[in-house]
């Protein structure tokens, strides 16, 4: 298992190194000009599409195509379908887009937009259903932001690559770069099959009801940050990968919720390549709910740090080492996360998780063990066979102390155990049996006995 992990790490490092080199090359080296006669088969049948080449865009990575793209976006009175054929488009800003606008390219690695400013490239304010598809955006400004949505709804990004310049070798120069910012109650934003790579902050949200699906965060200093501390930030992630290289300067943490927030749900999410993979909550608060289902978490020091959360729910989560490092699987702040559920959590490098990590009020189902502090309503226990106890109490070593037999009879396996009864005056008595078969009583006082 260790050799497979190391082998995968080496493959990952090679892949990420190639991706990083490719991103820098894309920013500096223009793609081959496909020629003015090139037309995408995806767009030629859409008569409303406005080809930026028809408005003077060159797409060679050298010419400034800002004005040509703006002219294409402003032309006509029908809903905007803006088409950027394969090429590299250098811009100093992005035009304002109307509601229901669609921006199309020929592929995230074929149609690329480069921006070297320190501002925000794409800003959507109060917009509805704006869509980007099959495009790549590369930012080289040290404090730039690729996409910022404020008060916008049902916008989408499909097969889009957002890439900055943050790498371990230049940290902290590009730590201020941001891939996506969601604020002003933006909702319904969807990222599908997208890549958000090499930013100081990959995605920052202070809003709820936004979605990331089948996407990947690579080599970001922080992959996703839920911020605001106003009980509002939330996100749903499904089939998402968070990966980074082995240098701690590249990635600090993959997912951080830094204060009071709303609901966070993670399904089929992979984490690898950080000292701490997830940090949830702070001293000032955390999510109303935080759920992880069918996830795999590898880290160098700490996989999951639950600092503050009202109702964590963890199910079918596997914790693994990252390379040769054996991290702490999960750390729970008992004061900040007093209640929660943990079902079928496993460690990839220990026999089992230590149940003492969870506060007493948690419901925990581990490998062959279950722990719950409260049952409300009728509880039914059944014996699996005539030779199996219905219920059994064990000491820390696993030796039985007492049991309910298949017949329903109660039995104590300790001679000093017996039965404790309370008399009408409030005193406690222990009933036990001697070797002569005679039942004896012994007074225990009025304090509730502990042993």
Placement of tokens 């003492």 in the chain: 356
What does the block give as tokens for 262? Answer: 């709303």
Q: Are 277 and 303 in contact (CB under 8 A)?
A: yes
CA-to-CA distance for 241 and 388, rounded, in angstroms?
45
What's residue 26's pLDDT? 39
Predicted confidence pLDDT, tens digits, the chain (451 residues): 444 444 444 444 434 444 444 444 434 444 444 444 445 544 544 456 899 999 999 999 999 999 999 999 997 677 899 999 999 999 999 999 999 999 999 999 999 999 999 999 999 999 999 999 999 999 999 999 999 999 999 999 999 999 999 999 999 999 999 999 999 999 999 999 999 999 999 999 999 999 999 999 999 999 999 998 999 999 999 999 999 999 999 999 999 999 999 999 999 999 999 999 999 999 999 999 999 999 999 999 999 999 999 999 999 999 999 988 899 999 999 999 999 999 999 998 888 888 889 998 999 998 766 776 666 778 787 777 777 888 888 887 878 888 888 888 888 888 777 788 999 998 988 888 888 888 888 898 988 887 7
3-state secondary structure of 81: strand
Q: What is the separation of C-alpha 360 from the centre of its chain, rounded to a whole number of angstroms?
A: 26
pLDDT tens-place string over residues 283-342: 999 999 999 999 999 999 999 999 999 999 999 999 999 988 899 999 999 999 999 999
What's residue 384's pLDDT? 73
Placement of tokens 């049996």 in the chain: 433
pLDDT tens-place string over residues 392-409: 888 878 788 888 888 888
Query: Which residues have CB under 8 Å from 311's CB, separation 6+?
Result: 288, 289, 290, 339, 340
Question: What would the DSSP string read from start to end of 366-400?
Answer: ETTEEE-S---S------SSTTS-SEEEE-TTS-E
What's residue 114's pLDDT? 98
Placement of tokens 């040769």 in the chain: 324
Return the bridge partners of 364, or none: 342, 371
Domains in the chain: ranges and CATH:
2-371 (2.160.20), 392-445 (no CATH)
pLDDT tens-place string over residues 349-405: 888 888 889 998 999 998 766 776 666 778 787 777 777 888 888 887 878 888 888
Question: What would the DSSP string read from start to end of 18-68?
Answer: HHHHHHHHHHHSPPPP--TT---TTTTT-TTEEEGGGGT---EEEEE-HHH
CA-to-CA distance for 281 and 153, rounded, in angstroms?
27
């Amino acid at each position: 298992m260790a050799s497979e992990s190391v082998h995968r790490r080496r493959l990952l490092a090679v892949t990420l190194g190639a991706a990083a080199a490719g991103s820098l090359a894309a920013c500096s080296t223009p793609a081959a000009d496909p020629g003015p006669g090139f037309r995408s088969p995806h767009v030629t049948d859409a008569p409303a599409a406005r080809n930026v080449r028809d408005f003077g865009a060159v797409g060679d990575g050298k010419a400034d195509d800002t004005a040509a793209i703006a002219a294409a976006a402003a032309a006509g009175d029908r809903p905007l379908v803006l088409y950027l054929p394969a090429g590299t488009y250098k811009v100093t800003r992005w035009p304002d887009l109307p509601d229901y606008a669609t921006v199309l390219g020929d592929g995230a690695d074929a149609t690329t937009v480069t921006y070297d400013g320190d501002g925000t490239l794409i800003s959507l304010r109060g917009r509805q259903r704006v869509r980007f598809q099959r495009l790549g955006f590369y930012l080289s400004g040290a404090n730039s932001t690729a996409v910022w949505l404020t008060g916008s709804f049902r916008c989408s990004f499909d097969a889009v690559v957002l890439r900055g310049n943050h790498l371990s070798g230049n940290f902290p120069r590009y730590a201020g770069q941001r891939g996506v910012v969601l604020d002003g109650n933006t909702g319904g934003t969807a990222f599908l099959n997208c890549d958000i790579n090499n930013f100081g902050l990959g995605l920052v949200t202070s809003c709820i009801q936004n979605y990331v699906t089948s996407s990947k965060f690579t080599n970001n200093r922080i992959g996703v940050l839920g911020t605001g501390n106003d009980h509002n930030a939330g996100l749903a992630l499904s089939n998402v990968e968070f990966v980074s290289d082995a240098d701690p300067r590249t990635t600090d943490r993959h997912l951080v919720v830094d204060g009071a927030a709303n609901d966070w749900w993670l399904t089929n999410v992979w984490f690898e390549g950080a000292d701490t993979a997830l940090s949830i909550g702070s001293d000032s608060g955390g999510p109303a709910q935080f759920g992880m289902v069918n996830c795999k978490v590898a880290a160098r020091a700490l996989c999951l740090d639950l600092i503050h959360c009202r109702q964590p729910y963890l199910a079918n989560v596997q914790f693994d080492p990252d390379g040769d490092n054996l991290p702490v699987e999960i750390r729970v702040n008992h004061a900040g996360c007093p209640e929660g559920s943990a079902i079928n959590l496993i460690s990839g490098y220990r026999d089992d998780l230590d149940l003492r990590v969870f506060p007493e009020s948690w419901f925990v189902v581990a490998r062959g063990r279950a722990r719950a502090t409260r049952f409300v309503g009728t509880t039914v226990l059944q014996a699996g066979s005539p030779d199996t106890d219905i219920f059994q109490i064990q000491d820390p070593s696993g030796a039985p102390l007492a049991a309910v037999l298949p017949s329903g009879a109660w039995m104590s396996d300790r001679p000093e155990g017996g039965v404790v009864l309370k008399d009408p005056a409030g005193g406690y008595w222990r009933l036990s049996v001697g070797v002569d078969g005679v039942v004896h009583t012994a007074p225990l006082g009025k304090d509730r006995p502990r042993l």
